[in-house]
Amino acid sequence: MGVVLWRVYERPWPPGHWVLVDRLWPRGLRRADAPFACWCRELAPTDELRRWYGHEPERWPEFRRRYLAELEHQMTGTQFADLVRWAVDDELVVLTATRDVERSGASVLASVVADAVGTTVVVRPNRDG
């Protein structure tokens, strides 16, 4: 049981249910080469919020607050339920193309899932860009 936050470009991916949680498909990754359990783009931050944030560190606290508000409306859906189930049954590997995985929508979503199952998020590999 657990939640791992991982950058999609870092291989090999750890064992578990691989879930891409970005609204946009990662550059340079062919869909045929991506054996994800789910591409949960509906759970990603809205385009408007994503563009506003622009990965500017000073906007991180407000981005997180706004994204949590967006997620409140998604937490009763089947995709969120799948993430929780996978985190309970095995290991949920939350994948993102973002360079700064710890200040990303993926980290917020991973934390929400981890809280729902009573665990913490493990960030790997823990490297910069």
Which pair of structure tokens corresponds to residue 36? 């994800």
Q: Tell me, what's the pLDDT at 11?
A: 84
Q: Tell me, what's the pLDDT at 44?
A: 96
8 A C-beta contact, residue 16 and residue 122? no
Q: Tell me, what's the pLDDT at 88?
A: 95
- DSSP assignments along 5-48, one per residue: EEETTSSSPPSSEEEE--SSPPTT--GGG---SEE-GGGSPPHH
As beta bridge partners, residue 19 has 38, 94
- DSSP assignments along 81-107, one per residue: HHHHHHHHHSEEEEEE--S-GGGSHHH
* Integer Cα distance of 33 and 50 in angstroms: 26
pTM of the model: 0.91
Listed as ranges, residues in the chain with pLDDT below 50 are 128-129
Q: In terms of Cα–Cα distance, which of 111, 116, 91, 115 is closest to 101?
A: 111
Q: Tell me, what's the pLDDT at 129?
A: 44
Neighbours of 118 (CB within 10 A): 9
